[in-house]
Structure 1
């Protein structure tokens, strides 16, 4: 089995404005990009479950020329809100790192 770091040289989460959370998955090379996409791992259902957001509100976009996949969804709390536990959203990717994927 593998994890995201076997596919990606960079995995990050960040704000895309005060209302949107975005994830970037930048793959090592063309082979690992296609392998990651083909696993179906980066699907709206996974992010809906992890972040309690409706699947219809999640956008997954592959960027083959950049060897990257971007996932965007509404932030669980508006940036800076009293209930916002990660103002810059830089730690939201962490739950994804321990999930096992098939080897690339």
Structure 2
């Protein structure tokens, strides 16, 4: 019998596109283009998506994560140093084209830490 347990929503469910790309040989930039203002409110919520969350997802220093919230465009842009310089010996994604996947699959909780609804 198939499992009908609902899966929790992820950030990508609220986005038109979540992408990543090089921002030079030493930085990665990711952008979340949200479907609407409700989706943007989730992505822009600092209790859900903040520097520490990105640091934990990508193994980088939270102090070096930059998050830009652009409400007029329903976009959240995130930049952080690449763990390995572009085209370095151990670089497995030279264009940083797959770095967005952990962000897009980040589970969105129904509530903020204070118990108020996030969605």
* TM over 0.5, shorter chain: yes
Structure 2 unaligned blocks of 5 or more: 1-7, 111-118
- Give the number of the structure with larger relative contact order, counting CA–CA contacts within 8 Å between residues 6 or more apart: 1
Mapping of residues 1-104 of structure 1, within 5 Å: 1-38=8-45, 40-102=47-109, 104=119
TM-score by length of 1: 0.89
1-structure distance, mates of 2:88, 2:102: 22
Q: How many matched pairs?
A: 104
Larger Rg: 2
Distance 1:49 1:28 in 2: 26
Stretches of structure 1 that go unaligned for 5 or more consecutive residues are: none
**Whole-Å separation in 2 of the counterparts to 1:34 and 1:22:** 20
Higher helix share: 1
CA positional deviation for 1:39: 6.3
When the two structures are superposed, what TM-score results if normalisation uses the length of structure 2?
0.79
* Cα distance in 1 between the residues matched to 2:38 and 2:109: 14
CA RMSD of the aligned region, Å? 1.5
Distance in structure 1 (CA, Å) of the matches to 2:59 and 2:43: 23
